[in-house]
Structure 1
Amino acid sequence: MRTKFIFFSGKGGVGKTSMACATAIYYADQGKKTLVVTTDPAANLSDVFEQEIGHKVTKINGIENLYAMEIDPDKATEEYKERCLAPMRELFDEEMLKIAEEQLSGPCTEEMAAFDKFIDFMEEDSYDMIIFDTAPTGHTIRLLELPVDWSRHIEESSKGSGQTCMGPVALIQESKKKYDDAVSKLRDLEQTDFIFVMQPEETSLKETIRSINELKEIGITTTKIIVNGLIPKEEAINPFFKSRYDMQQTYLSKAKDIFNNIPIQTMELFDSELRGLEMFRKVARRLFEGSDVHE
């Protein structure tokens, strides 16, 4: 069986990490070897799982089949630069190395490094499921557009000066296939699910509309939307909660109208903090068994 990839995206603070972790726990409990990776510097899997994780694949305590990693952008950049520079150290003098190093110090190198780490996992075949808790939407879109742009950029540079902002073309030419493979996996509905998490409010709805359209332009289909943080109906007695409940229902209804061809799932607010395996198993039960899905 091929590895299945699930991407969670959405604006910062909408509950992406919680939904990604609940999904990871669900599949691990089903006996699937599962890895959850975050590329979001604000997400903290260590807090969720109540153990140290960091920039390495770590087995999660107290549950079989579950592993996690928090990608550190600085470390990923250093690793990427070293991988580019290593073959040059024997071939070039100090001055040439310095020029190459300067070329590898722009912001595009950081993005390249993050994406490079990200798609290393997409070539991984030792897991049944790999779940990506991606960075807030704008950043994610840039990362997903990179392989398309880089492929073009690599081709053009190889015909022109032979230089790119990631260093000499010859060094990254071999990466072209890796980027192209990653894009074809992202576009393959049998291999990849792309899930947006949003809150039932205007800014979150607008961001989700924009991001889904941007993904569509680069050939990536959104497979599900989770509307998170709904106030339960039975709690809408107090005037304050009633008014919030009515507003949320308005935006939920708008979301169903706008995304009428994408399944929408709802997740109510919990009355306690989301931490630890048992709490996330509860979320997973609602996510996979108890919540309504609107086709």
Structure 2
Amino acid sequence: MSETKFIFFSGKGGVGKTSMASTTAVYYARKGLNTILVTTDPAANLSDVFEQKIGHQVTKIAGIGNLSAMEIDSKEATEEYKEKALAPMKEIFNDEMLKLIEEQLNSPCTEEMASFDRFIDFMDDDQYDIVIFDTAPTGHTIRLLELPVDWSKHIEESAQGSGQTCMGPVQNIQESKEKYDRAVELLKDTDRTEFVFVMHPEGSSIRETIRSSQELQEIGINTSNIIVNGILPEEECQNPFFKKRGEMQQKYLTQIEEEIDLPTKKMYLLDQEIKGLEVLTKVAAILYKEGR
């Protein structure tokens, strides 16, 4: 594999993005590829899934040689981002001006930008064969992806005004713009980047996936495939308790087939929690049985 491949997992909260992203990471690592799994989801639980402590630093996964993971902590990322933005100005500006700039950086926009900035660092890093991003719930992810697209306009407007933005002084942004432009080009490169939507066979999940996929397409990013997660096994639907729900799911599976023209993987509901390398390896064998 000559160039790093990037795989993004998105979808509504609670559909099993982290489980499917973790399963995929184990699948590629087991194939001998140097793999990292990165999450920007504030509700991330990679530590639970891999049954070991994973935090804001790249952490080797025990029991599998070429797999690492990281949970990007938005608060830590924001402090790092602010420090990086302020460092070159400490020798130029007085304390009063530095205080004004720091106040400008205390905004929700800065926190989003900081997480995205840390996240993009992995797209500039060629030490991995596969980089898997377990992203935050869809709406948040879309906003993060749209931010760099508007930078040129944002820089022009700020340069004509105060010279300040919620992401820091214009000069700093211009210096980073090349990095972000490269990232956006990679996001649009279908040979190197895959976008996978995880969904449940439910009406709200179908609508969310269609809407989000269209929003991505509007900014030039194509959805690669979908995973329909949490399907009741047919044998369980013989039970009257599950029969009605099974019928409802079949109706939605037909709707997905008719309305979403994308390659689809189906993941059936298991009788155990998806956690630990043994279970993740088993789930990977089920999910990727048809190969990639």
Q: TM-score per shorter chain, which class? A: over 0.9
User: Equivalent residue for 1:118?
Assistant: 119
Please state whether the residue corresponding to 1:272 is helix, strand or coil.
Answer: coil
For 2:284, the equivalent position in structure 1 comes to 284
> 2:228 matched to which residue of 1?
227
Q: Is the 8 A contact 2:104 2:168 kept in 1?
A: yes
**Is structure 2 residue 284 aligned with structure 1 residue 269?**
no
Looking at structure 2, the residues matched to 290 and 108 of structure 1 have their Cα atoms a distance apart, in angstroms, of 42
TM-score, normalisation: structure 2: 0.97
Q: Aligned residues: percent identity? A: 66
The structural deviation recorded for 1:290 is 5.5
Runs of at least 5 residues in structure 1 that lack an aligned partner in the other structure = none
User: Where does residue 139 of structure 1 map in the other structure?
Assistant: 140
Could you tell me which residue of structure 2 aligns to residue 36 of structure 1?
37
The alpha carbon displacement at 1:165 in A equals 1.9
Matches within 5 A, 1:1-295: 1-260=2-261, 262-289=262-289
Q: Is the CA contact 1:227–1:267 (under 8 Å) kept in the aligned structure 2?
A: yes
How far off is 1:160 after superposition? 4.4
More divergent stretch after superposition (24-33 vs 170-179): 170-179
Q: How far is the alpha carbon of 1:62 from its aligned partner? A: 0.4
1:107: Cα distance to partner?
A: 1.1
Total equivalences in the alignment = 291
**2:104–2:164: 8 Å Cα contact kept in structure 1?**
no
Structure 1 residue 171 displacement after superposition: 1.7
C-alpha distance in structure 2 between counterparts of 1:101 and 1:157, whole Å: 17
Code of the residue aligned with 2:116 in structure 1: it is F
Q: CA deviation at 1:194?
A: 0.2
**Contact 2:231 2:266 (C-alpha < 8 Å) held by counterparts:** yes
Calculate the aligned-residue CA RMSD, in Å.
1.3
- What is the CA–CA distance in structure 2 between the aligned matches of 1:239 and 1:213, rounded to whole Å? 38
Instruction: Indicate if the aligned counterparts of 2:233 and 2:268 stay in contact, CA closer than 8 A.
Output: yes
What is the alpha-carbon distance in structure 2 between the residues aligned to residue 74 and residue 131 of structure 1? 22
Give the gaps of 5 or more residues in structure 2: none
- Determine helix, strand or coil for the equivalent of 2:288: helix
Q: Which amino acid aligns with 2:51?
A: E
Partners of 1:151 and 1:278 lie apart in 2 by 47
Letter in 2 for 1:256: E
For the 8 Å contact 2:3–2:129, the answer to whether it is kept is yes
Q: Aligned-pair distance for 1:135? A: 0.3
Distance 1:179 1:152 in 2: 14
C-alpha distance in 2 between matches for 1:78 and 1:23:
31
